[in-house]
Every structure is written in C-alpha cells, then in structure tokens.
Structure 1
C-alpha cells in the first residue's frame, strides 16, 4: 500500500504537537535551573557581607551547586529509567521548590551551601529528565533540532542569570534570588504534571542501578573539584590538594574499568568508540570549560576591580546572551551548505578570539570597545557551535541510544562548567588576595596588583577554546555538504560512522 507524503504529515501532526508541548514545558524547567544557577554569581559580595564569610567559604555557595549537579547527573539519569521519567522529573521540581525556601531563610554559610547542594541534585534531575522526555516524544529526524533548542535556551538563561540576579539583588536583597524560585517552580510543577506523558512501564521492571559506578563517579568528581577549589586556600602544592588530585585520578580510572565490565553501566563507553563522536564530545567539554568561567570572571572583574554595581556587571552577560540568540539560527542556515565539522569549528574559533579580547581589555582602567566586542564574539561563537556539535553526537545512532549519548554530553558539559568556574574563582581570588582583598565584598585600591589573576584566567579560557577548535577540525570528513542520496535513519545495533555526505 502506498502512503502519500501529505497523509504521513497529517498522521504525524498530533505526535509533533505533543513533542513541541513537552519541549516547551521541559525547557521552562531548564530555564528556571540555569537562571538560578548563574544569578547567584552577582550576589556573592552581598552574601559574603551579610553572613560575614571569607572568599574561600563563599565559593561553596556557587560550587556546592555545581558539584552535586555533576556528581549526581549520571545516577539520577539511570534512576529515571528505573522509576519513570515523569515521576523523577516531578520529584526534581518539588525538591527545588522546597530547598529554595530553605535557602532563602538560611542564617549561615554552611546551611546555605548545603541547601545549594540539594538544589544541585534537583537541577541534575530536571536537566537529565528534560533530555530523556524530549528524546521520548520527538521522532528521530527532529530530535537533534529539539535538543538544540533546549540547550540554546538553557545557555541563554544561564547568561541572563547575572542580570536577573542583579535586578533582584538591588531591589529585594540576595534572599529574593531563592524565593523567586518558589512561584515559578510551582508553575513548572503544575504544567509538568498536566502535560508530560505518563510513564508506560512499571517502575523498576528489569532495571538495576550500577551502584559501584554511581559511587565511583560521585567520589571521583568530588575529589577532582575539591582539589581545584581548595588550591586557593591551601596552595597548589599542599599535600591535601595533591592527595585529592591523586585520589580523583585513581577513582575515575577505576570507574572506567567498572563501567567496561558492568552489565548495565551508568555510561555506555561504546558510544565513544567512533572517532568523530569522541572528538565531538571532547570539543563540547573544551567549549563548556570557559563558558561559565567567563561569566564568573567578567562579573568579579567589574565588581571587585572596577567597583561596578551588580546591575552593571549583569549587563555584560546580557550581551553574551543576545549574541548567542542572534547567531544560533545562523548555524542552522550554515548547516545547509557546510558540515557540522565546519560550522562548529568556526564557532570555536570565534569564541577563542572573544576570550582573547576580554583578557586584553582587562586593564583596570574601565571598559572599552574590546570588552564589548569580546562579549559579542563569545556569545556568537557558542551560539554557532552548540547545535551542529550536538547533532554530531546524536547522528548515526539508533533512537534508543540517543538519550544516552546526550546524557553523556550533559555530564561532560556540567562537569566542565564546574571545573571552569572553580578555576576562574581560584585565579581571580588569588589576584584579589595579592591586592589585599580577602573576599568578594571589597574593591581593590590598586587594580594592578589584582590583574595578574584575571589575565592568567583569561589565558586559560583562550587555551580551552583554541584546543576545542583543534579537536573540532581534527574530525574526518568533508567541509561542504554533499547530497549523494537519501539518508536513512534505521536503527543499528551499534554506533556507526556517518554516511557519506553527512560528515560530522
């Protein structure tokens, strides 16, 4: 029997509409998470002053969130397969609301950092749940586009966070940054409960959690991030820092061994056996490292070195977000003529130039044209990069492995952002300490004494983006799109190289 194209389109319309509805609802949850995660950046000086805490302690208000998010993303992703994706997603939103109420009324740094850690677990649930839910409802030929929209909006929210946080901070105080989660979180919870499809199978049926893998991944990431963060307080050569680093390497190495032998591993290591996909993962990691770090660096530079207000510091992030939104559709247009390898490499190179200009503009005398041009190029580079590189990761995989593939990308993205932010805080705090400022609530008297920390951090950002450009270019395949025949999307038992004319 012959089925016309128009008939097929009509038949697929209800499913397509349901997919877009789920995408909107889950993207709303992601927006809430990423706005809140970066909005706290501009509040560090105010929180430090109000709670009388030093910089090394204040760091944990940011890093505890990132740490628990990175530690738990693999485990909660696996649990969502066991108990049901809708259930775990709703639970994540509920945990976010409750922990936000506690954080808003926290009376000390330890409690606030702990509750931020709980929020990090909620964020991991929401982010991974959104990816899985989107993967379930979109057909294979639309999945990459849907995931790209979710990623783009989450990135924009993360970049707008400092401005939103600054406005709330100046108007209502730092506690409002957490209270605002409550009404929006409840709206997201109601929408999700109404719209998201019910789980079709019995929770836990035929599933098991890789407990050794979950423990090893969490411990390894915790030790690695602790080593980076405590370097500023203890010193890079301190035995505790070196010990944490050594434990991290050993534990993460053991994690790889366990995953290779596990019947149901947290991470499907077979996904990185394809050379081009492995390089796409590496490029995503390298591009994520400087993304959050640059926002932390720019905000601290304006507040602690130039003495700018939190709103002025937040505007810089808005410039990056605007450039990202404008350039993201351009990537789709370019993808009609250029392969993902070409487009994503161009995005990496643009971001590298942007980070370089930001570093050169940090002179301690004000903000000039180089600063704003650098912000625009950083946003444009990331906007052009994200969609084609994500498509490179999921392309060529059967539908039942695309969610897993994107879950690994999410882990690498969040871990890289955590490491990048920790490194930026470490270097910036060292520079500020050299200028006689021991916390984030002060302004240096002589900027020249603090600039070295910011310059070293900017150099690291440039190095990451240059390395990302190299790994992206290193992928094999053509530079231009060539149509050699129809592209099939049939499921295959294992990842395979991209077909001719669809190079990564």
Structure 2
C-alpha cells in the first residue's frame, strides 16, 4: 500500500473542489438547454413567432456553441484557462438576464448567441481544468462525477422548464440562470487557481470561419425546407453553399498546423467508424425530447409542465444506464457495449415510429423513450471508452475535443432536420401553431396531418440510429493509434 502524503491529500481536496465548480457549470448549461426545449411553445406564443423564428431560438445557440468550442480551447491557451472559464460564466449570466428582457424575438435570438459563446468558453475548458487538478490515478473518478452531473441536468431540466413556464412566466426560463451563474462565478473565482499556460499555438481562424459558414448554410437549408419546400431558392442556395464549402474545409484543414477539424482522426477504420457512429447517435437522440415535448403539447394539448414530466423516461434511461454500463465495462468490451447501445436506441425510436398516434397509451410511449434513453447512455459510455483506450495518452485531448465537436454537429443538424421534417406535414399557415403548442385546439384534420409528421420524424431518427449501429459494428480493426501515426507522416 502506497502511503498518502499531506501534499497528496491536499491536492485531492483541491481537485474535488475544482470538480464541484466544473460540475456546476455543466449543470447550469444542461438545465438551461433542456428547460427551453420543453418551454419553447410558451416563448413562441408570447412573441407570436413565426416557424422560422421559432426554430432559430434553438438553432442559434447550437450553431454558435458548436462552431466556437475548439476556438475557445485555443484562446484559453493564450489567455489562461481560469480566466476564460470564469469569463464564460459571466457572459452566460449577463446574456440570460438580457434574454428575459427581450423586446422581440430577434433580440432573444441574439442573446442566445451570446449565451452560446459563454457556454463554449465553459465547456471547452472544464474537462482540461479537471484533468490538470486530479492526480492521474484518480482522474477517472473525477471525470465520472463531472459527466454524471449531466444526467442531473437532463432529469431536472424538463420538469423545471415546464413548471416555470406554467407558473412564473417565460422570462424566468432565462432568469433562473442568473443566480445560479453568479454562484458558479463566485465559487469558481474563490476555488480555481491559475493554470500554467500551454504552448501558444495559433488559432485556426480560417477553419473556424469555414466550418461556421458551412453549418449555417446547412441549417438554413434544413429549416427552410420544411417551410418553403425543397425547391425553394433559399434551400437550394444553402445546400449549394454547403457543398462548395466542404472541399474547401478539407483543403484548409489539411494545410493548417492546428486544424479545428483534425482530418487525421478519420484516417483509420476504428476512429472513422466510431466517430461517425457517435455523430449518428447524437443526431438520433438530441431532438427527441424536443419532438416529444411538442407532441404532448401540440397534438395532445398538455401544458408545458405535464409535457416536461412526460419526457422524463429519456434522461432517466440515460442516467440509469451510464453507471451500470460503467461497472459492466470490466467484463464486457466497450465494442460490444457500443453496438448494444446503438441497437437499443434504434429499438426505442422504432417503437415510437410504429406507435405514433394521438391516442397511443402513455405507457407505450414511455417504454420507447426509456429504451432509447438506455441505449444512448450505453452507447456513449462504450463508444467513448473504446476510442480513448485505442489511443496513446498524448492524443487524448485532441481526440476528445474532436469528438465533442462531431457530436455537437450531430446535435445541431438533429434539431434543424427534425423540425423541418415535422412541420412539413402541415400547411404553412399551421406551422407556427405547432411551435406554439396550440394545434390541438384546431381541427382533427390538422392534428392528423401533424401525426404524419411525427411518424416521419421518428422514421428519420430511427434510420439514423440504425446506421449508427452498423457503423459501431464496423469500428473494429487495427489500433487507431497506429492509424493516427501513419496518417500524420
């Protein structure tokens, strides 16, 4: 048995205090996102927002957050992680305050953009701050607690969002973040020590701009496809811009010394398939709570609080599966867990697809949601472990940052694609009623059309989840480390 020195004990106590700060940040951002997913109809009704405006209340945050994650990781190397991390809390808190004071919907969208920048500053640095604070032999414990707090946010968010929307008003969906953000900022300033700055590597400005432009064009095309049809000039222009930018991104990233998208990480079969499977899983699961919350409000006439309670089987499934799978990881290979989780996700979504009807008993819907949640929790644990075990220690930070960006791209596309497919089933005059959650008060014909949209949306998500299962099965072969080395020569 190795003796524990006073220095080791002191470092461990500090590490757990650091973990409390970073976990608080993850809970803050997770709850802020999941509350709005459920309470969106309340916000839409207040501003009388159009279908396009309603979609961009969500998409603006996801797009900016995704495009700026790696950028703020680089900025932290130049300015210091503690400083950038705390600035993120301050920015997120101020933006939340101003969002609740929004005079119109586009001011709210602008504040969501500022929130996204603050969230990116927090998310890009939380993991690295924990890794620096914990001794190597205790790092897995710290990471386990840090990631586990996301389940807390996912469990609490929908219920809190529904309750706030029904009792306190839409402004408090954003204002509830203000005291939490101030507490996190004060606690972080008191606890976090200055971290030695890493090597000053240049920021891939061109790569960031090209990725942001490509994602913006794709999202604009997806959001307009549901409103104006696939032949709309906006849709065709957005799709064309995306197609043109993709090869430019590949060319620019190959020439960059510090690429925002390290294409070497797709060099071997294991990494390529595992990352693509992660993308598919994110695309299939991310819009599920939003879509189901809209189903209960727009098709079944429930209020926001009841809808929030109704979607809880998803985060419950994720929260239960993750620690159980973590314990099974000693006996079951992460490869098998990854495949099993992807298949479970597809089964859950397939259940929702086959039973999409206004009169479906809740227990059937609940089973589908719970199975999909368990599948995602199982897949995330297995997939992450599989990739991290396959790489040398020196590549872990690069791969983890890349994995987060790949998953976030899946999340962004998931929301845009799902909303587009869902609202394409009803006429242009009724799409705003879907976002407002008031369609159930109109004719049964309109609700029947919307149910066709829900079935199509579940079908798309099911197909993507199935593709993820196939890719997870293919993510086996030569060690990724060898592939990474060979492609970097």
Normalised to the residue count of structure 2, the TM-score between the two structures is 0.91
* 1:448 corresponding residue in structure 2: 448
Q: CA deviation at 1:14?
A: 4.2
Describe the superposition over 1:252-286 as per-residue Cα deviations: whole angstroms up to 9, x where unpaired: 32122212111222233333323212222111111
> Which residue of 112, 122, 127 corresponds with 1:126?
122
> Which residue of 246, 251, 271 corresponds with 2:240?
246
Asked if 1:215 corresponds to 2:209, the answer is yes
Asked if 1:307 corresponds to 2:301, the answer is yes
> Which residue of 356, 362, 371 corresponds with 1:362?
356
* 2:461 corresponding residue in structure 1: 461
* 1:495 corresponding residue in structure 2: 481
Contact 1:42 1:165 in 2 (8 A): yes
Q: CA deviation at 1:149?
A: 4.2
Contact 1:352 1:466 in 2 (8 A): yes
Asked if 1:6 corresponds to 2:2, the answer is yes
* 1:404 corresponding residue in structure 2: 398
Describe the superposition over 1:136-169 as per-residue Cα deviations: whole angstroms up to 9, x where unpaired: 2345555456445433432552454222100111
Structure 1 residue ranges, 4+ long, deviating more than 6 angstroms after superposition: 8-11
Q: CA deviation at 1:384?
A: 1.4
* 1:273 corresponding residue in structure 2: 267
* 2:57 corresponding residue in structure 1: 61
* 1:418 corresponding residue in structure 2: 412
| Closer, same or farther: CA 260–180 of 1 in aligned 2, 3 Å | same
Describe the superposition over 1:91-117 as per-residue Cα deviations: whole angstroms up to 9, x where unpaired: 111100111111001010110011111
* 1:327 corresponding residue in structure 2: 321
Report how many aligned residue pairs link the two structures: 478
Contact 1:159 1:295 in 2 (8 A): no
Normalised to the residue count of structure 1, the TM-score between the two structures is 0.89
* 1:377 corresponding residue in structure 2: 371
Contact 1:96 1:185 in 2 (8 A): yes
Q: CA deviation at 1:355?
A: 0.8
Contact 1:48 1:55 in 2 (8 A): no
TM alignment of 1:67-146, pairs within 5 A? 67-140=63-136, 143=139, 146=142
More helix, by proportion = 2
Contact 2:51 2:431 in 1 (8 A): no
Between the aligned partners of 2:390 and 2:9, the Cα distance in structure 1 is 25
TM alignment of 1:146-161, pairs within 5 A? 146-158=142-154, 160-161=156-157
> Which residue of 176, 182, 186 corresponds with 2:178?
182
> Which residue of 316, 330, 337 corresponds with 1:336?
330
Contact 2:227 2:428 in 1 (8 A): no
Between the aligned partners of 1:16 and 1:339, the Cα distance in structure 2 is 30
Q: CA deviation at 1:9?
A: 8.7
| Closer, same or farther: CA 158–230 of 1 in aligned 2, 3 Å | farther
Contact 2:267 2:483 in 1 (8 A): no
Asked if 1:193 corresponds to 2:207, the answer is no
Name the SS of the counterpart of 1:206 in structure 2.
Answer: coil
5+ residue gaps, structure 1: 479-493, 499-504
